[in-house]
Structure 1
Amino acid sequence: MTNTPGHHWLDEERLRVYPRILVVMSGLAAIVYLATVRDGLDFRGAPLGTDFVTFYAASKLALAGRAADVFDYQLLADAQRTVFPTYDGGPFAWFYPPTFLLVVAPLALLPYVPALVAFVGASFAGWLAALRRAIARPGAGWLIASFPGLWVCVAHGQNGLLTAALAGGSLLLLPRRPMLSGVLLGLLIIKPHLAVLFAVALLAARAWRTMLVAVATAVVALGASVVAFGRDTLNAWLGTLQIARVAIEQGYLPWSKMPSTFAALRLLGTPVAGAYVGHAAVALAAAVAVWLVWRRTDDLALRGTVLMAGTFLVNPYAFDYDLVWLAFPIAWMALYGLANGWRKGDREVLVLAWLLPALGTAIAAATHVQLAPIALAALVWIAVRRVWTPRRAATVEVGGGGPS
């Protein structure tokens, strides 16, 4: 597999072999890990599914008529200990709106492990269905299965697959089913900060019907949660936002796991004010990139890439398990490159973005250098430059293998 002039190192053979190797390695690691689980706790003493214990404990409180207690850190911690009495690690907080309680409330009707499997399995099914529609061609199964973002999200028992399915599905439906697109986007009210950049995109595209339906869906979902759990839950959630802000600023939430510019600057020792200024500058640039692309082209690959990757440049609050979103922009830009030719650095950026969920946290923890904003900005840039300089053929690489 030596490189020859006009032949890129990321060729078909590597794309056929390497994902299979990674799937086998990941599968073996998962088997070894599961073999260490005793009474629901792994070799580190952490719950199986890690963060899922929070969702399960919240479900128990909601079903017991104590939904507002979910937003009380100590009461939620007590509920988590009833799930795993021998767990002696730190409890997990809840900063989600009451709309997400509607999603998790039924979970405690099942034992813990079946509930974990049901939640992750259903989320994965939605994510996979949307991603397969985005790719719309055979032969990508091993690449999908080997994507590190998938494994990271599953290991955490988190909701990244669910939010990615809603975001990706909304974008896929936008051209032909704008109202249904709005419904999926409105359901992102379960993690509303992830929908902020969508407002910029839809305004740029003048997608009024989608915007109105999204707002109406979010209002209905929020109203349903208040009816189901009481107005106290809404007030309690709003009260946790200040706690979440302090937790991010002071590092009570691990910066190494947060792929944001704010976390990257705080890891480097930047004061809080300076980190906010730096983050705001990057967020503004990401918003401008989305506006530019969504105004100048209706190409789904370019639009979807700047929006889904840019979402993590805008938000200071996100985690490594949310990077399962990147499966969509990586797939879109790979297909775009195959159809329109590759430009210098395109494939290297896609590989960096593909590896980010697996390596970003470890590198940040070891070096205090968070690579995520760099990788995300590069992913946005390779889409923006296709719109900014669409006819500069000299920058297009000729030949060379790519995904097929």
Structure 2
Amino acid sequence: MGIEALREARWLDSGRVRAYAVIVGVAAAALLVAAYVEATGPTGSDFLAFWGAGRVSAGGDPASAYDLAVQQRVQTATGSLGWFAFVNPPPFLFAATPLGVLPYPLAWPVWVALTFAAWAWASVRAFPRLWPLVLVYPGALIAATHAQTGLLTGALLVFAATQLDRRPLASGAAIGALVIKPHLALLLPFWLAAGRRWRVFVAAGASAAGLVLASWAVFGTRTMLAYPDSWQASAALMEVTRADFFLRMASLYSQVRLIAGEPAAMIAGAALALATVGFALLAWRRFAGDAPGSAAAVLAAAALAPPYLFNYDLPFLIVPTLWLVREGLAEGFRPYEKLGLVLLYFAPFASRALALPLGANLMPLASAALLALVWSRGNPSGR
């Protein structure tokens, strides 16, 4: 393959993209089956934490969702040798409790199917012509194999970012629902304020407060008081020194911590977070008030902002990735841009798969490259 073929990538036409999507879809189905077999066997899965919390909540004792001894007993009763602390805030119990009614081997695929469907619906709605690329997006497929929260939070972020002007109150409600994993919404208040989207801003605050109050009313004061106990589990998790744990993380903080220790990691992470706040504040000006371009930029930056981030948290990167594809189709692709987008499209999965062999998770570099590409498409003087 010559330089010209890489530079323009004319061979990557719509027909080949559809064919490659089918191949990726078949491979993804096999990976999902393997993940399910592992999750329901002795190895277990992160999903055990959600199911265990839902099990005790459905049984009438939601406060036990945060009791480590109870969770160990409930989760290992499935035959798993491992178990996982439930660390999500009480509003997440609204999602977990119905799952707890189901047997664990059924709850796992139900959770994956429902959250994938929600994410796919929001993403296809945003990019209807690019639906094959949505359905086999590696960032969503890795989230599905982990049965974690990434597809649910991704659905909320994609919907909020792409329906901002059409459905401002619903968009704000979706942002508020991210109270279940608030660090993913770190940049959104700055972005909304800079864009003067006050209806969305207020709706987000009302949604978050409403969910907290509703969970208090439904699950009780004991549950609200038990939740801070989970902070100790989270703190203990971050105190581990095993390299494989930090290699599974997709933040700059985690990679710097591996190389230079915690103080340097905290400084680097804080500096990067402040820089991403700057991008969020300037995004509206950079894209001359254009909501889709500004949203693409802020979601690309959102993958760099928090110190605690895993590759399965990244289905929301479908927005900046496919926004760039749509812009390229409309205005023409720049040299090597098609090839770069292929690499970035597969980055959430590839960087996770290569992290242990390489001794580094390259996802922060990929997220930075994605933000740079989106930013370079901005036109402050008008679109």
TM normalised by structure 2 equals 0.90
Q: Provide closer, same or farther for how the CA distance between residues 289 and 7 of structure 1 changes in structure 2, counting only shifts above 3 A.
A: same
Q: Which one of the candidate residues 248, 252, 260 is aligned to 2:251?
A: 260
Q: Which one of the candidate residues 181, 186, 190 is aligned to 2:176?
A: 186
Paired residue secondary structure (2:227): helix
Partner Cα separation in structure 1 for residue 143 and residue 100 of structure 2: 21
Matched residue, 2:324: 333
1:349–1:375: 8 Å Cα contact kept in structure 2? no
Paired residue secondary structure (2:95): helix
5+ residue gaps, structure 2: none
Q: Which one of the candidate residues 100, 124, 143 is aligned to 2:133?
A: 143
What's the offset of the Cα at 1:348? 3.8
What's the offset of the Cα at 1:160? 1.1
Q: Can you list the C-alpha shifts for 1:279-331, whole angstroms capped at 9, x where unaligned?
A: 11111221111211123433233222222222121111121211122222211
Matched residue, 1:78: 73
1:305–1:379: 8 Å Cα contact kept in structure 2? no
Q: Can you list the C-alpha shifts for 1:72-107, whole angstroms capped at 9, x where unaligned?
A: 32321222112x1x3223x21221100101111111
Partner Cα separation in structure 2 for residue 237 and residue 31 of structure 1: 34
What's the offset of the Cα at 1:259? 0.8
Paired residue secondary structure (2:361): coil
Q: Provide closer, same or farther for how the CA distance between residues 287 and 157 of structure 1 changes in structure 2, counting only shifts above 3 A.
A: same
> Does structure 1 residue 226 correspond to structure 2 residue 216?
yes
What's the offset of the Cα at 1:353? 2.4
5+ residue gaps, structure 1: 392-404
Q: Can you list the C-alpha shifts for 1:94-132, whole angstroms capped at 9, x where unaligned?
A: 211001011111112222233223222221221111111
Q: Which one of the candidate residues 387, 397, 401 is aligned to 2:378?
A: 387
> Does structure 1 residue 126 correspond to structure 2 residue 118?
yes
Q: Which one of the candidate residues 282, 290, 293 is aligned to 1:299?
A: 290
Partner Cα separation in structure 2 for residue 120 and residue 32 of structure 1: 14
Partner Cα separation in structure 2 for residue 330 and residue 243 of structure 1: 35
Partner Cα separation in structure 1 for residue 164 and residue 32 of structure 2: 37
Matched residue, 1:277: 267
> Does structure 1 residue 11 correspond to structure 2 residue 12?
yes
Q: Can you list the C-alpha shifts for 1:214-257, whole angstroms capped at 9, x where unaligned?
A: 10111010001111112232333234335424422434681122
What code does the residue aligned with 2:53 have? A
Which sits farther off after the overlay, 324-333 or 106-115? 106-115
Partner Cα separation in structure 2 for residue 362 and residue 99 of structure 1: 32
Among the aligned pairs, what percent are the same residue? 32
Paired residue secondary structure (1:333): helix
Matched residue, 2:28: 26
2:272–2:304: 8 Å Cα contact kept in structure 1? yes
CA RMSD of superposed structures (Å):
2.5
2:320–2:374: 8 Å Cα contact kept in structure 1? no
Matched residue, 1:216: 206
Partner Cα separation in structure 2 for residue 10 and residue 73 of structure 1: 54
What code does the residue aligned with 2:80 have? Y
1:310–1:380: 8 Å Cα contact kept in structure 2? yes
Matched residue, 1:87: 80
Matched residue, 2:53: 58
What's the offset of the Cα at 1:345? 4.7
TM normalised by structure 1 equals 0.86
